[in-house]
Every structure is written in C-alpha cells, then in structure tokens.
Amino acid sequence: MEEIIKVEQLTKKFKIQKKTSGFKNFFKSEYKNIIAVDKLSFVIKKGERVAFIGPNGAGKSTTIKMLSSILYPTSGTAEVMGMTPWDNRKKLSYNIGTVFGQRSQLWYNLPVQDSFALLGKIYDIDEIKFKRRLSKLVKLFEIRDLLTHPTCSLSLGQRMRCEIVASLIHNPQVLFLDEPTIGLDVTAKEIIRNLIKKQALEEETTLLLTSHDTDDMEKVCDRVIIINKGKLIFDNTINKLKDSYLSKKYMEVTSESGEKIKTEVDTKETPVKKALEELMKKYHVVDMTVENPPMEEIIKEIYRRE
C-alpha cells in the first residue's frame, strides 16, 4: 500500500519567555526551550485510520499542526502525499482536510451553507461538482436542517458535524482531526465517531485523529500511535493495544440506596457481562458505568513493561 505520510526524526521546540521581575530584568528577556515533539518517526499508509493519542501536552496537536503545514519544525523531515507540508502549504491544502475541535473554520455569523459555499470558492471547486459533493456530505452527516442556521446558533455537536463537512468539501485524501469530540456529550461523541468512520470507509480517506479519549480510537481507528512527552512509545494495531493494555475495565455501579461501588475487571479473565451479573446479584443496581483505564495509566503500563 502507498505510503501517504512519512515522518522522520521530527522535532519541534518552542521558545517560551520566562517571567522575570525587577528593574534589572526590564530590558532583557530570558527564554527557555520546551520540546513539544522529540525525534518522532512513523509511516502511515493510504486508507489507514490512525489514532494519535497521548495525555495533555504530549505533542499530538503540535505534530498534526506540522503535518498539516501550519507549523515549521525545528528539525527532522515529514512528507504528506510526497510533499513537505511547510514548504508546499498551498499545493498540499487542496489534498488535506483539517478539523480542530477547539477552533472553527466556519464563519461565525453566516448561515452554514454560505460558509460551505465560500469554502467551495476558496478551494476552487467547480459549481456543479460543489453541489454534488455538498449534497452527498449533507446526506451522510445528516445536516440538511442545519444549513440555513448561522454557525453561532449551533450546538457543539451540530457544529462539529458541520466542521467535518467543511473539511471534506474539497474531497481531501488525508483528514487530520485534532480532538474532534472534545467537549461533546456521550451521544454526540458516538454520532461523530460513527460518521467519521463511515465517511473514511466510504471514500478511503486516510485519517489521523488525535484525542485523549481512548474510546475515540477504539470506535474509529484501526491503528494507534501513542506519544508521551513528544516521544513515540507505542505504534501498533488497536487490537494489540486492547489485548495488552485495555483489558482492564473500571466499573461503577450505584445501588438503590445510593451507595457507589467501584470495581476493576480484567476482561481476559472475567468478561464484563459476567462481572456485571455478579454485581447485580449482590446489589439492586440502578445505574452503572464501564470505563477504559485513563491514558496516564496505559502509558505507565507501557513504560512498566518496557
């Protein structure tokens, strides 16, 4: 399969000004270097759906920003579809789509359809092709009712669906998604995950998705890259990660008396169903949650086994 993203020894350092006080320091500034991405190397093939995960400050967003031509690296090389992103911003922009969960690419006061039309012009899409493409995406992401609404009036979940459509309007081959489910409720997260996966499978789009929510990668991706403090610490299939590190589940049940019972289950030994049945026998359960271990714990476990 064709290699679509190639990253070698990619490093990004940020120069941050230190806070100083006193008259002496008024005229001179002190800086410190922060290494956000540290000699990162990996390859992504066409059509792969890769989760790029790690805790806050791991360097996920910085890597995505370098690969999507926003940031210049300090050293190292990267190629996206055979192009160095930061040297080919314009050319590459026609082939990649980006979604940044905390930023909007839609015009705040404009109806969503006007933003789409503007993006169509920006990406030089022919009128007929644009209409055909938009109609397909509107159907896929179920946003027909939202088209006439101004972006500012949409809920976060609705806006995110529109943001993804906006990033796909020019039919990119690679889609970078930076925390696309951040701030969404459970239902909205599920909808977004399903839609992203459906679109990627339908159009063979290569996905690189960053998140610190392990559910995002489980539901959408087939491969996972974990980074911590800018360094790569795990690169394998989702199944491998699940078998090795996600077999443990945290269960919490609430009994009728309001008592909360927390328990850890190793799904290799006890399936969730069985564990739940046992809890239900003991307590009159009125509510329950099953969660994956937090990212920090997975990372600790990876380091421990190394």
Partner 1 sequence: MNKAFSKYLNLFQISFKQAWGNKANLSGMLFFLFILIFIYNRLWEVIGIQTGENNLNSTFIWYLLFAEAVILSSPKIERILFEDIRSGTMAYYINKPISFFLMRYVESLGNMTVCYLLIVGFGTIITLVFTGKPPFTLWQYPLIVLFCYISGTLNTLLYAGVGLCGLWLHSIRTLGMAIERLAFIFGGAIFPLTIYPEWFVEIAKWTPFYSIYYLTIKLVYDFSWANLGYVILLNSFWSLLIISFITYAYTKLSKKVNIYGG
Structure tokens at 7: 């990253």
The answer to whether residue 156 forms part of the interface with partner 1 (CB under 8 A) is no
Tell me how far apart the alpha carbons of residues 185 and 188 are, in angstroms, rounded to a whole number. 5
Confirm if 9 and 76 have CB atoms less than 8 A apart: yes
- Token code pair at residue 78: 């990267």
Find the binding residues for partner 1 in span 198-257 (CB under 8 A): 210
Residue 157 in tokens? 């979940």
Q: Is 60 in the site for partner 1 (CB under 8 A)?
A: yes
> Cα separation of 109 and 115, whole Å?
9
Q: Is 68 in the site for partner 1 (CB under 8 A)?
A: yes
How far, in Å, CA of 119 to CA of 93, rounded?
Answer: 12
For residue 96, state whether it binds partner 1 (rule: CB under 8 A).
yes
Residue 123 touches partner 1, criterion: CB under 8 A = yes
**98 vs 292, which CB is nearer to partner 1?**
98
Q: Are 164 and 180 in contact (CB under 8 A)?
A: yes
Stretch that binds partner 1, among 43-51, 115-123, 214-222, 256-264 (CB under 8 A): 115-123
Pairing state between β 248-255 and 260-266: antiparallel
User: Could you say whether residue 69 binds partner 1 (CB under 8 A)?
Assistant: yes
By CB under 8 A, tell whether 121 contacts partner 1.
yes
Q: Residues 31, 57, 132, 237: which binds partner 1 (CB under 8 A)?
A: 57
- C-alpha–C-alpha distance, residues 123 and 153, integer Å: 26
* Residue 179 contacts partner 1 per CB under 8 A: yes
147 is an interface residue for partner 1 by CB under 8 A: no
Which amino acid type is present at position 265? V
The one among 35, 55, 70, 261 contacting partner 1 by CB under 8 A? 70
Q: Which of residues 7-46 bind partner 1 (CB under 8 A)?
A: 14, 16, 34, 36
How far, in Å, CA of 266 to CA of 248, rounded?
4
Nearer Cβ to partner 1 (114/190): 114
> Which C-beta is closer to partner 1: that of 133 or that of 249?
133
Where do the H-state alpha helices sit in the chain? 60-67, 89-93, 112-122, 127-140, 156-168, 186-203, 214-220, 238-245, 272-282, 295-305
Exactly one of 3, 9, 29, 72 binds partner 1 (CB under 8 A); that residue is: 72
Strand partners, 68: none
Q: Which stretch binds partner 1 (CB under 8 A): 59-67, 155-163, 251-259, 287-295?
A: 59-67
Residue ranges binding partner 1 (CB under 8 A):
14, 16, 34, 36, 56-57, 60-62, 65, 68-72, 89-90, 92-94, 96, 98, 100-103, 105, 107, 109-110, 114, 117-118, 121-124, 178-179, 210
